[in-house]
Amino acid sequence: MSAIAPPILFLLFISFLGGRAKQITLGSSLSPTTPPTSWPSPSGLFKFGFYPQATGFVIAIWLVDNEGDTVVWTANRDDGLLSSNAKLQLTKDGKLLVQTEKGEEMLIADTTEASSDSMLDSGNFVLYSKNSSVIWQSFDRPTDTMLGGQRLSSGQQLISGSSRTNYSSGRFYLIMQGDGSISSELYSYF
């Protein structure tokens, strides 16, 4: 049990780190091969942007570590890999989206009225309205990892990645049921 305590304490510690988040403004964009390829949190502990996977890229949030980064959230994880010609942007009209090399636009956030966004030291990527209210956050849409300060609400689920290097949905999931209990299952493909 004591071997588990240090990582848990570390995750709780990083959720309380200070630092003012740098707001990313309308019209900002990233590409997978031209720096900057990500937007860092104030301390640099987390990043949001293009993360390499196999022969392409995914839009992800990852914990930065000299010994190997840890992906903690992935956008549109089952839509396939992005090419080096993709572009992530917070458009002038407030959409957070990826434009593929074919010109297709894929929304990352289910809102179109953002005025800025921030990558926080907690590992949460947040979109703000014009009055600085939070209108969307990655913490409300967990994929396969929970961080300190994040909640798993009734009906929400965590779905494993396919493997350590493939972040698309895997076969295992954990769901928070309406009565507050947790259920875990193995998806069956047969």
Report the pLDDT value the prediction gives residue 11, as an integer from 0 to 100. 42
Confidence band for 187, pLDDT divided at 50, 70 and 90: low
CA distance 96 to 1: 41
CA distance 110 to 132: 17
Report the pLDDT value the prediction gives residue 186, as an integer from 0 to 100. 64
Superfamily of domain 5-140, CATH level 4: Bulb-type lectin domain (2.90.10.10)
Report the pLDDT value the prediction gives residue 172, as an integer from 0 to 100. 87
Report the pLDDT value the prediction gives residue 4, as an integer from 0 to 100. 43
β strands within 6-77, DSSP E? 24-25, 29-30, 38-40, 46-53, 56-63, 70-74
Q: What element of type H or E holds 159?
A: strand 157-161
Q: Calculate the alpha carbon distances from 180 to 21, 149, 183 in Å.
A: 33, 18, 10
Confidence band for 83, pLDDT divided at 50, 70 and 90: very high
Greater pLDDT, 71 or 5: 71
DSSP class of residue 21 equals: P
SS3 139: helix
- Report residue 132 CA to chain centroid gap: 20
- Whether the full predicted model's pTM is greater than 0.75, yes or no, is yes
Q: What are the sequence ranges of the domains in the chain?
A: 5-140
Q: Are 28 and 97 in contact (CB under 8 A)?
A: no
Per residue in 7-46, pLDDT (tens digit) is 433 444 444 444 445 678 889 999 999 999 999 999 999 9
* Residue whose entry in the numeric block shows the structure tokens 């980064």: 69
